[in-house]
Amino acid sequence: MTNFLITIIGPTAIGKTALSIKLAQHFNCEILSCDSRQFFKEMKIGTAVPNDDELKAAKHHFIQNKSIFENYSVGDFEEEALNKLNALFKENNIQILIGGSGLYVDAVLKGFDEFPEIDTSVRTEINEKYDQYGLIYLQEKLKELDIDYFTKISNENPQTLQNPQRMKRFVEVCIGTGKPYSSFIGRRKNERNFIPIIIGLEAEREIMYDRINQRVDIMMKEGLLGEATQLFPNKHLNALQTVGYRELFEFLDKKTTLDFAVEEIKKNTRRFAKRQITWFKRTENTKWFDYKTNIKEVTDYIKSRI
């Protein structure tokens, strides 16, 4: 029997959770989340995890299953998600994947390329240079060693340039192998035991922005500031280098006012949504629906593909 993975993509606050629950109920299946911020149990309000009623309405996986103190990579997620899918497909040949983290969606659908082992001395040297010079060292080094890849991520996912862990990895591969990071991409064919049916949700930009602004206001009413205050002593952790927390940490550091911090959350979330759209619009074989589309129209499309 052929397995099918209904994959729901789209920008934040577009309605992916609501649609995934309706589809899970319709097809009597379960939901795997690949939102990289919702993995962490300490970050509930600021990551808009499904509420208790939503979690009861359909079985979810990879929601608040890790701690911010754990090292958890996209490669770790790929392995765990595929193992979970293999188990779920034994019960039902239709399952659901949902998320706004494009890299994590790609990890499940396509996997990643195989890179050679790098001598630990290279990593040590890069960490020392990063500690001394900061992100600018990593950015300039990648530009020097792999201008093609630097240009690609600058255009398609500029937030990556601000991610120390990923930038260290790019530079590490370049230095450790003497070859551009991009030269290793596309070498390995990753086999999957399912056919993806990819559903994209979209809305007019003004509507999307309004939904984002409303969501931030709701988060603040639900206690986002209190959550950020509890996390503030650990603000250096990689998991907390994200929209919704960074801005409130600035307020808690007495560098901004609360009103300014909230407006910055809204602005930066809107920017994040634009980057999500750019990423997901490159996803091949995606059927895009308006966020208000009747559920029957979506299920009819899925049934036509099964």
Q: What are phi and psi of 73, to 5 degrees?
A: -100, 165
Residues in binding site: 10-17
Extract the annotated binding site for substrate: 12-17
CA 252 to chain CA centroid, nearest Å:
26
* DSSP labels, 199-241: EEEE--HHHHHHHHHHHHHHHHHHTHHHHHHHHGGGTTSGGG-
Q: Report angle CA 222, 62, 276 to the nearest 5 degrees.
A: 70
Q: What's the CA angle centered on 71, arms 163 and 157, to 5 degrees? A: 25
Binding residues for ATP: 10-17
Beta bridge partners of 5: 95, 196
End-to-end CA distance of the chain, in Å? 11
